[in-house]
Amino acid sequence: MAVFQGIFPAVITPMTSNGRFNEAAFRDVIEFNIQAGVHGFWVAGGTGESILLDDDENHRIAEVVADQSKGRVKNIMHVGAATTARAAGLAEHAAKAGVEAICCVPPFFYQRPDHEIAEHYRVVGAAADLPLFVYNLPGSTGVDISPELMQVIQDKVPQLAGLKHSSQVFPNVRIFAKMGLCCLIGNNQLMLPAMTYGATGCVDGPPILAPERWVAIWQAYQDGDIKRAEAAQDEASKVIEVLRACGGGFHATMKFAVSERLGIDCGDPRPPGLPLTEEQRTAISKALETLGLI
């Protein structure tokens, strides 16, 4: 199975003024990141407001990202849903749309035993027959994918390629790597240490705004220049540190920051997410100037 490695920004889902998917802005964001040297995208995931999108929107997003990328990068399309049937339907469409892989959160809300979670992934994987990534996001799903659970999934799902690891349990990165999985770290500030521990790259939202900073970490690490990689990680980490201090919600902040940098309008978050205040917008604009991004 193909190795997925490098920097995979988690893409925002731009919205129009009436709150629908903004295809033109989405294409601009994708192209900007490809030109910056990213290796792929994590599409319609947490940063992309995944569970707030309807099926038609998810379908169109998969079609557009595949069309805009034209095989230049690897797109990992999120198909996670509370029901197995819906997740499998989204997976089947994603494969037809032409993405390179799918990803999926475990079934959430109800606490499921390991064998039910594994069966969920078996059905979803079979529906697409593409490389499948488990989306380990316990802060949102209430399910932390342990190495023991991952082994049950691996035994049952031939399409399993790896995972996005957004858990607090950092040592599991090494265990997942030893299991032969592509472990993409889900915390952009841990990209370098995670790679020294066996991760094959990073998936997170902030790189969609400043992809060149995380690409620089990857390139330095591939060159074997750890000092340069450490300096690049420090520069990249400043992005989220500075933006966090501005006080806005994550989705609203990322959409506005990308809008400012690219000179486009990515809209507001979908409710119940709230738009930024004017004070917050001003603070983010000043932060982007401080970071040298506008």
pLDDT at position 123 over 70: yes
Average pLDDT, the chain: 97
Answer whether 235's CB lies under 8 Å from 229's CB: no
Q: Please tell me the distance from the alpha carbon of residue 53 to that of residue 90, in angstroms, as a whole number.
A: 12
Domain spans of the chain, in order of start: 6-229
Here the tokens at position 238 are: 């400043």
User: For residue 291, what pLDDT band results from cuts at 50, 70 and 90?
Assistant: very high
Whether residue 43 contacts residue 78, with contact meaning beta carbons closer than 8 Å, is answered with yes
Q: Would you say residue 213 has pLDDT above 70?
A: yes
The residues with which 165 forms a beta bridge, in sequence order, are 136, 185
Confidence of residue 75 (pLDDT cuts 50, 70, 90): very high
**Nearest CA-CA partner of 164 in 140, 200, 197, 130:** 200
What class has domain 6-229? alpha beta
- Both tokens of 169, joined, read 């349990």
Pairwise CA distance, residues 46 & 50, whole Å: 6
Would you state the pLDDT for residue 1?
A: 61
Could you tell me if residue 107 is left (phi over 0), alpha (psi between -120 and 50 degrees) or otherwise beta?
beta
Residue 260 scores a pLDDT above 70: yes
**Helices and strands: H and E segment counts in the chain:** 12, 8
At 126-175, the pLDDT tens digits run: 999 999 999 999 999 999 999 999 999 999 999 999 999 999 999 999 99
First to last CA, the chain: 40
Residue 3 has a pLDDT of: 83
Return the beta strands (E) in the chain as ranges: 6-9, 40-43, 74-78, 101-104, 132-136, 160-165, 182-185, 201-204
Asked if 279 and 287 count as a contact pair (C-beta separation under 8 A), the reply is no
3-state secondary structure at position 2: coil
Average pLDDT over residues 245-256: 96
For 162-175, how does the pLDDT look when each residue is reduced to its tens digit (9 = 90+)? 999 999 999 999 99
246 — pLDDT class (breaks 50, 70, 90): very high
